[in-house]
Amino acid sequence: MLNARITLSNRGFVGESKISVGPGEVLGLWGDSGCGKTSLLRSIAGLEQQPHSEVIFNNLIWQNDRKFLPVYERRIGFVFQSPSLFEFKNVEQNLRYGLERAKKDFSSNTWFENIVKLPGVSPLLKKMPSTLSGGQLQRVALARALCMQPQLLLLDEPITALDKGSKLKILPFLEEIIKDFAIPCIYVSHSLEEVARISDRIAVMEEGRITKINTASELLADLDFIADLKMDSPGVFYARVAEIDEDFGLMTMKTALGMIRAVKAKNVVVGDRMTISISPRDVSVGLEPKQVSSILNRLEGKISEIIDIDVSQSFVKISIKDTYLVAKVTRKSRMALELKRGDRVFAQIKSLAIV
Amino acid sequence: MISAGDYSALLTTVKLASVSTAFLLLLSIPLAWWLTRTQWRFKFVVEALIALPLVLPPTVLGFYLLIMFNPSGFLGSSFTALTGSNLAFSFSGLVIGSILYSLPFVVQPLQNSFESIDRDILETASTLGANSVDRLVSVVLPIAFPGLVTASVLGFAHTLGEFGVVLMIGGNIPGETKVASIAIYEHVESLNYTEAHTLSALLLGMSLVLLMLVYATGQRVLRR
């Protein structure tokens, strides 16, 4: 369990942030560039020393007013935006670097074997870093951070520098590792969608301090919050593939919203877990249960909140089962349908828009 | 073709250059690493002191060393107390002189290559459990290997060509402090041009080969 109280005071703003992350939990740290999220992460790691701050891990003091434990004595796994592999060592030697320095009492060979056997890593062991692609380098960097069996995983924009193809490939790898190894983790990114996919809770950072902490699903359905965002921010849901329709190239997934049909992704089999994102602009609102339309997904729910973003658009927050889905509709449609809080409606999602 | 005296002078030269280079590396690696890392406001003073032999006439350096090596002086007397022998006009004295004289040629290439190492790499090593000394040995030196080669070769080659300092503090004891550059000077003084030719050609060849090695490692040689 990590408990930290960090006062950032080196960027012209002074702000105090409190963070606690439990075992197996992923806290996303999100904010615009320059908001101090990287500084906050580096302070928790001990790469920066902020005065008037306190970092306590499992009742062990890492930092307070009198004490500062150097980075190399904290058991952390840290991944930077650049993979920072040791170019003069091959992949396996890179992986062993942390293990060789780990104190005997916590270095376990079975742990190391599990990392080396990871599907994204094992074929690369004998290669030199200069021969790897960006995505492969970052996978190795992540595996290296895990090799010494860290108590805390800190990821600073780990996939930001990658191209879109590599991103889509490494994201499931990352999600799986974080879930499998059950280490508390802080994930920093300026991409809200990325943070939402991977995090249990999201901390929003502005001008050097955390202004809001909430679960990903609550935050992305917080209309005041998403209305202020400069871009569209999709809702993110865990999904398990329940059925595959090869004839039409569709898959049916079980999610917190209910069954959802989407275009079948490549190499997917029944039982696979994935994260899907649904953008508010791809959700429309209907009043009738049976409507003739090309839409495959129609989910019944209750309107829990409506706000107008500007003169032409509105957000409608629909409560479905135990979670929320946000629809972005024109203000004209909202008036024409006479939508109001408490109405029973049908949220319609285009299958093609689910990624 | 080469006289026993000249052979012994060459041997002394190579021995001096090797011993000095070894000590120079031991001294310069921590020094250059400290210069790279320190935030100290007055680090420029240290840098200027190290660079001094680049501009100072070797005779000036040699003169001050001679004063310090005097058996009644602080350095001279403590050395005599420790080893029972004299510093002035001894091989040990020459080594000390050479270290000072060649220091910038070793420190500067090292500092250059240390400074070009990415901060993320070093911080990654810290997060993987490496302390400061460990980082220097396991990450910095392997990455800075070409700089290390440049520094060693330059230190070695520069000591080979040393003349002024040796003249002041070394004297001319065959087999002990008589180096090749001094031997050439003496041959010319006594008009033995043939011997001077042979020794000069040997020094020229050695220096050229060594410098080619430096440039072959593809490094910027010196930051001036």
> pLDDT by residue (tens digit) across A227-263?
777 677 778 888 888 889 889 888 999 988 888 898 8
CB-count exposure of residue B88 (10 Å: 0-12, 13-18, 19+):
buried
Q: For B144, name the nearest residue in chain A, comparing CA atoms only.
A: A88
Q: How far apart are CA A348 and CA A277, in angstroms?
A: 14
Distance from the A264 Cα atom to the nearest Cα atom in chain B, whole angstroms:
39
Residues in chain A closer than 8 A to B142 (CB atoms): 86, 88
Which of B121, B130, B139 minimises the CB distance to A72? B130
Q: 3-class SS at A193?
A: helix
> What pLDDT, in 10s, does the model give residues B64-98?
888 888 878 777 788 777 877 777 788 888 899 99
Q: Report the side by side order of strands in the sheet with A76-79.
A: A76-79, A152-156, A185-189, A26-30, A201-206, A209-215
Q: Does A97 sit within 8 Å of B125, measured CB to CB?
A: yes
The packing angle between helices B91-115 and B145-160, to 10°, is 150
Greatest Cα pair distance in chain A: 70
Q: Cβ of B118 under 8 Å from any chain A Cβ?
A: yes
Which one-letter amino acid corresponds to residue A242? A
To which H or E segment does residue B113 belong?
helix B91-115
Q: Does B125 sit within 8 Å of A71, measured CB to CB?
A: no
Q: Cβ of A235 under 8 Å from any chain B Cβ?
A: no
Q: What angle do CA A76, A81, A84 make, to 5 degrees?
A: 75
> What pLDDT, in 10s, does the model give residues A182-241?
789 999 998 888 888 888 899 999 888 888 898 888 888 888 888 777 677 778 888 888
Question: What is the per-residue pLDDT for A106?
Answer: 54
Q: How far apart are CA A291 and CA A88, in angstroms?
A: 64
Residues in chain A closer than 8 A to B145 (CB atoms): 88
Q: Does A97 sit within 8 Å of B127, measured CB to CB?
A: no
Q: Is the pTM of this model over 0.80?
A: no
With beta carbons less than 8 A apart as the criterion, state whether A64 and A73 touch: no
With beta carbons less than 8 A apart as the criterion, state whether A29 and A40 touch: yes
CB-count exposure of residue B30 (10 Å: 0-12, 13-18, 19+):
exposed
> Mean pLDDT over residues B109-133, rounded?
92
With beta carbons less than 8 A apart as the criterion, state whether B76 and B69 touch: yes
Q: Cβ of A71 under 8 Å from any chain B Cβ?
A: yes
| Ranges under pLDDT 50 in chain A | none
Question: What is the per-residue pLDDT for A57?
Answer: 92
Q: Cβ of A101 under 8 Å from any chain B Cβ?
A: yes
Q: Cβ of B120 under 8 Å from any chain A Cβ?
A: yes
Q: What are phi and psi of A160, to 5 degrees?
A: -60, -40
Q: What angle do CA A101, A103, A106 make, to 5 degrees?
A: 120
**Helical H segments across chain A, by residue range:** 37-45, 91-101, 109-116, 134-147, 164-181, 192-198, 216-220, 223-228, 331-336
Q: Measured on CA atoms in the order A318, A321, A325, A327, is the torsion positive or negative?
A: negative
Which of A70, A80, A87 minimises the CB distance to B124? A80
With beta carbons less than 8 A apart as the criterion, state whether A154 and A26 touch: no
What percent helix, strand, coil does chain A show, rounded to 5? 30, 35, 35
Which one-letter amino acid corresponds to residue A331? R
CB-count exposure of residue A63 (10 Å: 0-12, 13-18, 19+):
buried
DSSP for A64-115?
A: -SS-B--GGGS-EEEE-SS----TTS-HHHHHHHHHHHS-GGG--HHHHHHH
Give residues with Cβ within 8 angstroms of A114, minimum separation 6. Answer: none
How far does Cα B218 stand from its chain's mean position?
21
Q: How far apart are CA B17 and CA A38, in angstroms?
A: 49
Q: Does B134 sit within 8 Å of A101, measured CB to CB?
A: yes
Which of A45, A84, A97 minimises the CB distance to B120? A84
Question: What is the per-residue pLDDT for B221?
Answer: 43
Which of B121, B131, B145 minimises the CB distance to A84? B121
Q: Cβ of A181 under 8 Å from any chain B Cβ?
A: no
Question: What is the per-residue pLDDT for B146?
Answer: 86
The ipTM (two decimal places) reads: 0.76
Residues in chain B closer than 8 A to A102 (CB atoms): 129
Question: What is the per-residue pLDDT for A173?
Answer: 75
If you ran DSSP here, which 8-state letter would residue B139 be given? I
User: Does B222 have pLDDT greater than 50?
Assistant: no
Q: Does B123 sit within 8 Å of A72, measured CB to CB?
A: no
Q: Does B120 sit within 8 Å of A80, measured CB to CB?
A: yes
Which of B121, B127, B134 minimises the CB distance to A76? B127
Q: Cβ of A68 under 8 Å from any chain B Cβ?
A: no
pLDDT band at B224, cuts 50/70/90? very low
Q: Cβ of B52 under 8 Å from any chain A Cβ?
A: no
* Residue with the larger pLDDT of the pair A276 and B220: A276
Q: Cβ of B128 under 8 Å from any chain A Cβ?
A: yes
Q: Does B124 sit within 8 Å of A84, measured CB to CB?
A: yes
Give residues with Cβ within 8 angstroms of B92, minimum separation 6. Answer: B79, B83, B85
Residues in chain B closer than 8 A to A97 (CB atoms): 125, 128, 130, 138
Structure tokens at B79: 């050395």
Residues in chain B closer than 8 A to A101 (CB atoms): 128-130, 134
Question: What is the per-residue pLDDT for A10?
Answer: 66
> What pLDDT, in 10s, does the model give residues B179-211?
888 888 888 989 889 889 999 999 999 889 988
Q: How far apart are CA A342 and CA A329, in angstroms?
A: 17
Which of B120, B123, B129 minimises the CB distance to A98? B129
